Structure 1
Amino acid sequence: MLVGMPGAGKSAIGKRLAVRLGLPFLDADTEIENAAGLTIAEIFARYGEAHFRDGERRVISRIVAGPPVVLATGGGAYADARTRQILRESGAVTIWLRADIPVLKRRIVGRSNRPLFIGRDPDQVLQDLMQRRYPFYAEADLTLDCFDDTPEITTSRAERALIGWQRPARLPVALSERAYEVVVGCGLLSRAGGLLSPHLPARRVAIVSDASVAPLHLPALRTGLDDAHFEVRATVEVPPGEGSKRMAMLEEVLERLLSAGVDRSTTVIALGGGVVGDLAGFAAAVALRGLPFVQVPTTLLAQVDSSVGGKTGVNLSAGKNLAGAFHQPRIVLADTDTLATLPPRELRAGWGEVAKHGLLQGPLWEWCEANGPAAMAGDRDALRHAVLESCRLKAGVVVADEREEQKEGGRALLNLGHTFAHALEAECGYDGTLLHGEAVAVGLGLAAALSARLGHCSQEWPGRVMEHLAATGLPARVKDLPRRFSAEALIGRMRKDKKVRDGAMRFVLLRNAGDVFTTADVPPDAVLSLLRDEGAAA
């Protein structure tokens, strides 16, 4: 379906595109005139625009419910909310033909079938229409800028755009109070405004990012927001790294947001990795007692894990994520194009969580073993699959146990390897020596080894897990890490972990891929012995 302003060339391009695609071409205005037995101008004159839009909506609904076609619409069709919903639900591909005023004016002046322009200044009419309609056109799947090129050239560009386009995946997180979607695909930042606007209370946002991510991805996000006429109230940048997840930085972010005049309808957008997502999400949860929140994760780690599920928070000296809140996003945009900008170490760190999801899910683990090295070499299809399936798994777990209230199983299973990992991170002081995904990788190896020692899984599993992690370039054992750890100190950290209940350490252990469980029935001496055997000092 081709959408855009009067004079954008929807019919001219649509006819040529239909020939190239081997599909019928239909013009919505012509279909309306045939159904009504009146011209568009006559319908407007006799019954008004509201009546026309209602008939237009019914005609478009009938067309998209039938066989595939190329459809050109009137300029106002896509500005109708119910028409846009019909198109989204039908699976139609929408292309916005965008042109500037001089181009449009040359094409519409003097035509009698343009009732909105009769007796009026065309420049002013076009300016007014753009102001009202562009925010809705921005919701189209594809945007094609049209210049003074010939229709053949523009049609070729439209055809190439269609061939290269891949519909993003939409995974529902069907929570009882407020469901939301995780959108996974490429090129999402440049479409951010159109993707976000149906889910937000107003077109006002504040962006929180970090000093490493902002130069890479903030321009594309701003462009996408500008296309849909969003107002950006504030852009707050924090230093990169785990050191920003602290109370002092939370207070600074809150002060910056409130001094910029955010209100209860202003949405906080987290643009960055897990640190930015956790920090911005916590700020959104407590500012004015709760602001709408959107996750735009730019690292593999954040896309497969921390951006989904609503956990937000900061670290304390006593441990990781000990202050925070559950605050679900309105939508998650996981633009897989951002993964191409990650340093290799950051990309590998994200794989630690992918491997964890594989062990939780079962078949995904076998896929990880077969495709992990290719993904770490930058294979786009492998990375997209990893993100999609990880989000699918986590969304299902979160829906079943949103606030980690189940004592056994549920969301707690997502902590596979994390009791060890959080202790390792806390001992490093969150100074960047050890990335979260690297700690998780070592934690997975330790969890598998502990499971085998306690007789829960076969003896092959520790070696199998560690071999896969090493094949993707991740550390697999404590002795692989760049510093020494005390086994006693790590045990002390584990006793302060937020998963401890009644003084007992809790672990997620493994019977097989796809068969994991939580337990507090683990002798501390067994954990201490394991840590020493795996490289921690006595």
Structure 2
Amino acid sequence: MSRNLAQPHSASPAPSRSIVLVGMPGAGKSSIGRRLAARWGMPFRDADAEIEAAAGIPVSEIFARYGEAEFREGERRVIARLLGANEPIVLATGGGAFADPRTRQAVRDSGALSVWLKCRLSTLLRRVAGRDHRPMFVNADPREVLERLMAARHPAYSEADLTLSCTDEHPDVTTRRVAEALTHHSPPARMRVGLSRNPYDIVIGEGVLRRAGAEMAQRLEGRRVVVVSDQSVAPLHLPTLRESLADAGFTIAGEILVPPGEGSKSFAQFTRIVDAILDTKADRRLAVIALGGGVVGDLAGYAAASVLRGLPFVQCPTTLLAQVDSSVGGKTGINTQHGKNLVGAFHQPKLVLADTAVLRTLPLRELRAGWAEVAKHGLLEGPLWDWCEAEGPEAMRGNPQALAHAVLESCKLKSAVVMDDEFETKPEGGRALLNLGHTFGHALEAECGYGSMLLHGEAVGIGLGLAAELSARLGLCSQELPGRVREHLREVGLPVRISDLPRRFSIDRLIGRMRTDKKARDGALRFVLLRGPGDVFTAGDVTEETVRALLREEGCDP
């Protein structure tokens, strides 16, 4: 007997709820389960052994006498009884148990944590060799049996709370990895965007992308998808998405990659994506998945809104800016020579999957640019602004808890605003308030040509400072607020003034850009202004001369 079986291991605390191991025959559920139970000093139960004890006959004979349907019903009752005990247990299930939807629901209802021990076919073949006590392997080719079972059961297994890939390593090693994964596991945060016609969920947390297929399977009617990503994101995160989709029974009908950067939000790329989707013989059950930042989400979403007058759409945002802002709310679109997002549509996603773990792959400049939108939400909400000032530098150092909090709180704020004003029809307030800093920011972006000179978040950051300065000049807020806003943005590494940029700007051209902004009315300038953090409003009565004076002091040319 190994040492791990002989006595509990103190490396990680025992879980407070039952652990249910699921997976294919040969995955090692019983072997790993016994070791986990010994490690934590918890009771171990084997569902098949319990069923045989209750029936008084082997599983093979239950199948022979009563058939699979009767066996599954008895299996569900036994599992529910075991998980309903007063103390948490480690439970190893039979290969087909979790594939039964009623048993999956019984596991969820019990509050247990389900773990899929995922093995490759080659590993399973070696482990099931000679298993003639299982009815499915009697007089059958094990490879054919396993391939059939994997195709049928993997979509159900993918719904487990945690997935751990297992190899031919020693069971003690696998046990330790499972224990460590369980110790660090935290369920994703979920929130509902409760729109009257198209409600959807936002799922936020570490490792959410690995569960993408399971989450989509519960919300999409079809099982064919097209993935739109960019050439920088795809090598990093597309393999994880592919595997998750395959596990859940999805077929990827096409993968469309665009160049990274704002320049891809163009008619040319839009047309290319639409044609590629139509090339897949698309029907209205084909889903479009956006894997990338705000550019990919806006572009793919607009294509999804347009093809066949609307395809289901899933957002998998991979940048901080997209996770806190652009992936939520259903705004899609492209840029033109006249300005930003002037062509597009409202098209709500079916689901938003914000995996905060992928933020670790972001270049620091992109992370900082995303923070500008977090700061904007802070100024809109009030208390979140105080948190931003206190925790922003820590978040920019990559603190996962700070970043997760920023995403969660931003999504709460934005979803509430979207539910109140889905199509931005309120003349004052509503979704228009989300444009704080954007009138100035969009004008700067357009002048820079939507290239790498100025990222969207950087433009918004400068715009936030200008909006605060304009508010102070109009006597709406304290004279110290512009300095606070700019100091915070500078502290997290963002440019805060137009003069920080490596080029000169014309006041006439910037004013012209502002007049064609989609928020303008009859050519009149409109701004979101502040009385203070948490107290913002839209204004259409700011004189052009006031804006010109502000831009002159920023160093712009007449």
| TM-score of the superposed pair, with normalisation by structure 2 | 0.90
Pairwise CA RMSD: 2.3
Partner of 1:490: 510
Query: Secondary structure, in 3 states, of the residue corresponding to 1:201?
Result: coil
Q: d(CA) in 2 for partners of 1:463 and 1:174?
A: 37
223-232 vs 409-418, which moves further: 223-232
Q: d(CA) in 2 for partners of 1:84 and 1:140?
A: 9
Of 239, 259, 262, 1:239 maps to 259
Of 20, 24, 34, 1:15 maps to 34
462-471 vs 28-37, which moves further: 28-37
Contact 1:206 1:262 (C-alpha < 8 Å) held by counterparts: no
CA distance 1:55–1:510, shift in 2 (3 Å): farther
Partner of 1:53: 72
Q: State how 1:351-370 maps to structure 2 within 5 Å.
A: 351-370=371-390
Q: Does 1:470 align with 2:490?
A: yes
Partner of 1:181: 201
Q: d(CA) in 2 for partners of 1:493 and 1:105?
A: 65
Q: State how 1:84-103 maps to structure 2 within 5 Å.
A: 84-88=104-108, 91-101=111-121, 103=123
Q: d(CA) in 1 for partners of 2:122 and 2:376?
A: 56
Q: d(CA) in 2 for partners of 1:90 and 1:522?
A: 59
What code does the residue aligned with 2:24 have? M
Of 137, 156, 160, 2:180 maps to 160
Q: Does 1:249 align with 2:259?
A: no
Q: Does 1:194 align with 2:223?
A: no
Query: Secondary structure, in 3 states, of the residue corresponding to 1:516?
Result: strand
Deviations 1:394-425 (A, max 9, x none): 12222222211222222221111111111111
Q: Does 1:426 align with 2:426?
A: no
CA distance 1:107–1:424, shift in 2 (3 Å): closer
Deviations 1:353-401 (A, max 9, x none): 0110111122211111111112222222222221222122212222222
CA distance 1:385–1:52, shift in 2 (3 Å): same
Deviation at 1:267, TM superposition (A): 1.3
Deviation at 1:90, TM superposition (A): 5.2
Deviation at 1:151, TM superposition (A): 3.2
Deviations 1:16-42 (A, max 9, x none): 212222333233334445566665344
CA distance 1:434–1:231, shift in 2 (3 Å): same
Of 45, 48, 63, 1:44 maps to 63
CA distance 1:35–1:365, shift in 2 (3 Å): farther
CA distance 1:158–1:360, shift in 2 (3 Å): same
Of 153, 167, 184, 1:133 maps to 153
204-213 vs 259-268, which moves further: 259-268
Partner of 1:380: 400
Of 535, 540, 543, 1:520 maps to 540
Contact 1:108 1:114 (C-alpha < 8 Å) held by counterparts: no
Q: d(CA) in 1 for partners of 2:75 and 2:537?
A: 56
Deviations 1:320-358 (A, max 9, x none): 111111111121222222222222221111111011011
Of 229, 234, 239, 1:209 maps to 229
Q: State how 1:26-425 maps to structure 2 within 5 Å.
A: 26-33=45-52, 39-64=58-83, 67-88=87-108, 91-101=111-121, 103-105=123-125, 107-108=127-128, 114-425=134-445
Deviations 1:104-143 (A, max 9, x none): 4555566675333344443332221112112221222333
Q: d(CA) in 1 for partners of 2:381 and 2:167?
A: 50
Query: Secondary structure, in 3 states, of the residue corresponding to 2:476?
Result: coil
Q: d(CA) in 2 for partners of 1:307 and 1:79?
A: 32
Query: Secondary structure, in 3 states, of the residue corresponding to 1:206?
Result: strand
Deviation at 1:261, TM superposition (A): 2.8
Deviation at 1:2, TM superposition (A): 0.3
Query: Secondary structure, in 3 states, of the residue corresponding to 1:403?
Result: coil
Deviation at 1:286, TM superposition (A): 0.6
Deviation at 1:278, TM superposition (A): 0.4
CA distance 1:28–1:244, shift in 2 (3 Å): same
83-92 vs 439-448, which moves further: 83-92
Deviation at 1:312, TM superposition (A): 0.4
What code does the residue aligned with 2:511 have? I
Q: d(CA) in 2 for partners of 1:202 and 1:156?
A: 38
What code does the residue aligned with 2:153 have? R
Percent identity of paired positions between Structure 1 and Structure 2: 64
Query: Secondary structure, in 3 states, of the residue corresponding to 2:203?
Result: strand
Contact 1:190 1:224 (C-alpha < 8 Å) held by counterparts: yes
Deviations 1:302-330 (A, max 9, x none): 11111111110011222111111111112
Structure 2: gaps (5+ residues): 1-19
Q: d(CA) in 1 for partners of 2:471 and 2:57?
A: 76
Query: Secondary structure, in 3 states, of the residue corresponding to 1:78?
Result: coil
Q: d(CA) in 2 for partners of 1:107 and 1:431?
A: 55
Partner of 1:458: 478
Q: d(CA) in 2 for partners of 1:509 and 1:91?
A: 47
Contact 1:314 1:323 (C-alpha < 8 Å) held by counterparts: yes
Deviation at 1:511, TM superposition (A): 1.6
Give the number of equivalent residue pairs.
Answer: 538
CA distance 1:99–1:480, shift in 2 (3 Å): closer
Q: d(CA) in 2 for partners of 1:65 and 1:261?
A: 49
Query: Secondary structure, in 3 states, of the residue corresponding to 1:348?
Result: helix
276-285 vs 159-168, which moves further: 159-168
Partner of 1:3: 22
CA distance 1:447–1:329, shift in 2 (3 Å): same
What code does the residue aligned with 1:269 have? I
CA distance 1:502–1:127, shift in 2 (3 Å): same
Query: Secondary structure, in 3 states, of the residue corresponding to 1:48?
Result: helix
Deviations 1:230-251 (A, max 9, x none): 3211111112111111112211
CA distance 1:349–1:105, shift in 2 (3 Å): closer
Contact 1:477 1:535 (C-alpha < 8 Å) held by counterparts: no
Q: d(CA) in 1 for partners of 2:518 and 2:410?
A: 24
Q: d(CA) in 2 for partners of 1:316 and 1:65?
A: 60
CA distance 1:256–1:354, shift in 2 (3 Å): same
